[in-house]
Amino acid sequence: MGCLVSTPKDSGGNRRRPTNIGDVSVYVPGLRTPKPVDLSQSLGGHLSKTFLERLNALRTRIVVMAGQEATTITRTRRKTATQHGGSAFSDLHQALEDYLPVLLGLVSDGSQLQFKVQFIWVNQEDDAEETAMFNAWYEVLSVLHLMAVLSLSQANLLLLPRTSDSHQPKVSEERRRASIDIFLKAAGYLDCAVRQVLPQLPSELRRNLPVDLAEGVLRAICLQALGQGVEIQLGMAIDSIKATLAVKRRLACEMVKYWQQAQDNIMNLPLSNGWGEKHRLFVKWKYVEAKAAAYYYHGLILDEGNTEKSHGMAVAALQAADKYFEESKRACEVFNSAHPLSRNPPLWGTMKYLSEKIPKDTSSKVRINRDLYSHEKIMGTAPTLPDFPLALKPDGYQLPPVDPSWNEILQLSRDGSNEVKPNKR
């Protein structure tokens, strides 16, 4: 059950596509927005007028606020971060949290009410402009996706560097720590969507979900949130005098695994239009960038060895780091030039440090070791990176309990009646 309607991409003008999204520290998928639905027509014979008015008010609030944010959420320049983003994101996020417990009553205990309303959302990464389904689990899935996107938007604003008194762009430790918490929350919403919500949809509907909500995309965004969280951890380790090379290498190698898994999840999905292609290019860029960091720290540790072999492997690792770093710069340019256009904020943190150290240390180590050893001893393929278990996990987000106002309605349903007479008008 749950009829599907997808509107072709050339059928209307509901989808808003910015031409330029400004500074990007965190990739934020295009904002999917809900369209108004007539809940009274679909549920009028099943729920009281008072309850319907409440449910409709909660959803209408989201429709209006999401519609307003659809244009501003993509303009993440520094003035937006300080003058607009925080409160608007928080208000919309709160509206979604208020709506979800009431919405979940439609699917509680397998209620047939879940099939009564056709929920419609405007897509961004899918070719179809919008997707409508007679299934309330589709609405739940869309709400969780939107909560995750808002979280990523908030993280992006936090990680746009500010110029300090020394005129060096930086992000405070407080904002970096806050961004890690937000990344974990975003990952938690998406992990919940994959584990708790997708299995509730019939296989036919799952196959026909917009690519924005495909399992591979949800998993990829979850993994990239974790990958960017580890990147922030690595930057903080670089700033700490107590963090050893081994700690930094481990974090860098974990980054590689997160981004590799993210790339594996979206590799075969039809991400071909503007937002979708940009998403794919972002994952490719960050995966290559992570490999540059991992090979750099692996090379430094190998160079601490006392053997000719370890020094030769160190040079090969550092040369791989330099190669991947140059490749990442090209991948970054391709990402930024893909529509919608974007740009990098001034370098700071992990990549500012590595952009200075990788070329310098590679050149130095190669020259020293070539003076010591024969050419054959130091050339060849890069050594295999160590395999570390992934430490950063999504927040353990669970769907909230059904709003208590549903108790009477659900009890009547269990007693054999699906109807609650509307209040007299």
Q: Which residue blocks in 73-135 are alpha helix, DSSP H?
A: 78-80, 86-103
Torsion of CA 91, 159, 177, 90, to 10 degrees: 0
Tell whether the model's pLDDT for residue 141 goes beyond 50.
yes
Instruction: Give the Cα-Cα-Cα angle 366, 372, 377 (nearest 5 degrees).
Output: 70
Question: How many domains, the chain?
Answer: 2
Provide the whole-model pTM.
0.88
- Please check whether residue 205 is in contact with residue 138, taking contact to mean a CB–CB distance below 8 angstroms: yes
- Please check whether residue 71 is in contact with residue 88, taking contact to mean a CB–CB distance below 8 angstroms: no
Instruction: Say what percent of the chain tops pLDDT 90.
Output: 54
Model confidence over 188-229: pLDDT tens digits? 999 999 999 999 999 999 999 998 899 999 999 999 999 999
Is there a domain that residue 31 lies in? yes
Tell whether the model's pLDDT for residue 63 goes beyond 80.
yes
Is there a domain that residue 396 lies in? no
Could you list the residue range(s) of the whole structural domain that residue 130 is in? 20-74+88-159+171-213
Is there a domain that residue 164 lies in? no
Is there a domain that residue 29 lies in? yes
Model confidence over 410-420: pLDDT tens digits? 666 555 554 54
CATH number at residue 252: 1.25.40.280
Overall average pLDDT of the 37-66 stretch: 90
Those residues with Cβ within 8 angstroms of residue 12's Cβ, 6 or more apart along the chain or in another chain: 129
Same domain, 177 and 62: yes
Q: What is residue 13's predicted lDDT score, i.e. its pLDDT?
A: 45
Instruction: Say what percent of the chain tops pLDDT 70.
Output: 83
Same domain, 142 and 251: no
Model confidence over 161-172: pLDDT tens digits? 876 655 677 888
Rg (the chain; Cα; Å) = 25
- Please check whether residue 79 is in contact with residue 9, taking contact to mean a CB–CB distance below 8 angstroms: no
